[in-house]
Amino acid sequence: MPVILLDLSYIDIMKKKRNTLLARIKTRVRRKRGNVILRSDFKDLGDYDQVGRCLLVLVREGTLVKIGQGIYVRAVVSSLDNRPALPKSLNTLAEEALKRLDIPTAPTSMERSYNEGRTTQIPAGRVIGVCKRVRRVIGFNGYSLRFERTS
């Protein structure tokens, strides 16, 4: 049986020359400044479905974590179980995502009461005050945030 030897350097060169959509998305994710990445950041690279499939590959690899429809976060490896985890708290990341979506946030009624000294109960819930209607579900690992309409 003849043995076929391939020139590995040629194969490596060809892989580097192929600039696939997945490679371009990975590059853009690496260069992005914040932690939150929106699906709309890749509008110019390809079709909606193609971009979605590439983002799904990145989620399965553990590079990204999906926290909402069209909202992704760079993942860090958890030191406890070596699974993808969030780099910051869910509240912080959700506020960053809402800012990127042009939805202004404000303190909730409980946060205002605590800051004004009307209560001693510390607001530790997963509630974000928003100034306009939000019909999104933002969450991770079974925990989702609620939105409170503030003026």
Per-residue pLDDT, 139: 94
Tokens found for residue 92: 């912080």
**Portions of the chain given CATH number 1.10.10:** 9-87
Reply yes or no on whether the pLDDT at 99 is more than 60.
yes
- How far, CA to CA in Å, does 75 sit from each of 31, 51, 78, 84, 95? 15, 18, 9, 5, 17
Classify domain 9-87 by CATH number. 1.10.10
Reply yes or no on whether the pLDDT at 151 is more than 80.
no
Tokens found for residue 74: 């760079």
State the first-to-last Cα distance of the chain, in angstroms, to the nearest integer: 78
How remote is the C-alpha of 37 from its chain's centroid?
A: 5
Q: 14-18, 63-67, 117-121, 125-129 — which is least confidently predicted?
A: 14-18
pLDDT digits (tens, 9 = 90+) for 35-73: 999 999 999 999 999 999 999 999 999 999 999 999 999
Reply yes or no on whether the pLDDT at 29 is more than 90.
yes
Reply yes or no on whether the pLDDT at 18 is more than 90.
no
Per-residue pLDDT, 6: 55
- How far, CA to CA in Å, does 7 sit from each of 2, 13, 63? 16, 10, 31
Per-residue pLDDT, 76: 94
What pTM, to 2 d.p., does this model score?
A: 0.82
Per-residue pLDDT, 9: 59
Tokens found for residue 100: 């990127």
Instruction: Find, among 82, 83, 103, the residue nearest to 145 by Cα.
Output: 103
pLDDT digits (tens, 9 = 90+) for 70-87: 999 999 999 899 899 999
Looking at residue 104, its amino acid is: P
Per-residue pLDDT, 69: 94
Q: What is the percent of the chain with per-residue pLDDT over 90, rounded to a whole number?
A: 69
